[in-house]
Structure 1
Amino acid sequence: MRAAAVFRLFFLLIPTARGAARGGDARARRRRARATNARQSLEAPRGFKRTRRPHRDLDATGRRDGTTMSIADARVRWANDMRAVVTRADALRSDGSIDQNFFKPKRVVFETQSKKWGDDERERLLRGLETHGVGAWGVMKRELLPEWDTLQLRVKASKMMGTQSLARYPKWRGDAAAVKAEYEKNKAIGEATGCWKNGTLVEDDDGSVAKYMAEHGLT
């Protein structure tokens, strides 16, 4: 009798368990559907409305009944519309796509003769050192040597004075004779300390130049 009651209770509980399982599966499917819709809404461009289920009547071009755009078409159209707002008109085609011909060079210029440093440029730089002093490279470029940049003028002045570093010459001014005298002084220091490299005084990491100048009272 007791065994029969147990079997009846078991068979009564089976449908309840199956229903709970089916209910759990349904809830899981609904959660997955909501997550899918949320992800698709983030991926779709603004203004494009996605349906919950994919259409079965999409043709080969990705349109539904010839009226609804596919995701790719909507994105292209959105990009073209935005491009028309932020891009100059002559760089775009009529549909808003980029006209690659706009970015092609209109002409190609070949430089047949490079600028050269000669006596005239040297004289103008000497005039700039005498008038404006070391460090006024921008003024020299603007008034005397517009075809040369400030870095090139500094390097040229360093070679003329025979020293790689011009830190010892803040706002120094001098004529051609003074520049030549500084060159000879730097050459003598470089040869005495072993720091004369390719016609220029190059200070080493041991401070040999500074020590030599301090010992001999040079500035």
Structure 2
Amino acid sequence: MTAHPTRPPRLLLVVTVVLAVVGIVLLTLPDRTTPPGAAVPEPPSQTAAAGRGTASPAGPAGPAREVSGAGGAGPPRTASPPLPPQGEGPAGDAAVQRALEEAWPADLPAREGRQLLAAGRALLRADATGIGRARWPAVFPAGRSPAPAFGAGSFRIQAAIARRNGDYGRAVVHLVWAAADRGGTFTDGRVTDWHFTRTSAKGASRWTPQPRI
């Protein structure tokens, strides 16, 4: 008897052919995961990521450690200029003045600014040392004002500016000063704000200091 080769089952042949056809079709189909014409997104670079970092607000590092005078908001601070080291003495006063002027641009007429500065300086001296309080009876009522806390000999105004405080009818004089207290401790970089309102009388206007709160 002659032996005949074994034929594979017909079902297996059909399945093989179908799988081959399906594979060919899949290889020829375009990739549909990305829309035609769309660019493939790339991961953000380190430079771009760094550009989205949180920015730290720049606030002025003022020399203030003490605030006295009438209450209210001071001038809007717009920058943080460099300041001299504390304890440098009169040699650093010019730098403090420049820092104030750069941080708070002038916004008052020059004449009014000078008037306010003169009044603010006199008020601060009267408040700190007691000298000249009689000039300001509404601010320093007789018998009701606290005793001076600083010696006149050590008192020094380091810097001062006058600026608007909100609308045109209000202003503030911002002063940085130094003095020794009753215990003999000398400290510079003290800060005081004196607030003023514009008043009119007999057709003339003037700046009136606000009593302390």
Superposed pair shares fold, TM > 0.5: no
Say which structure, 1 or 2, has more relative contact order (CA 8 Å, 6+ apart).
Answer: 2
TM norm structure 2: 0.23
Larger Rg: 1
Task: Write 1 or 2 for the structure with the bigger share of helix.
Answer: 1
- Structure richer in strand, relative to its length: 2
Q: When the two structures are superposed, what TM-score results if normalisation uses the length of structure 1?
A: 0.23
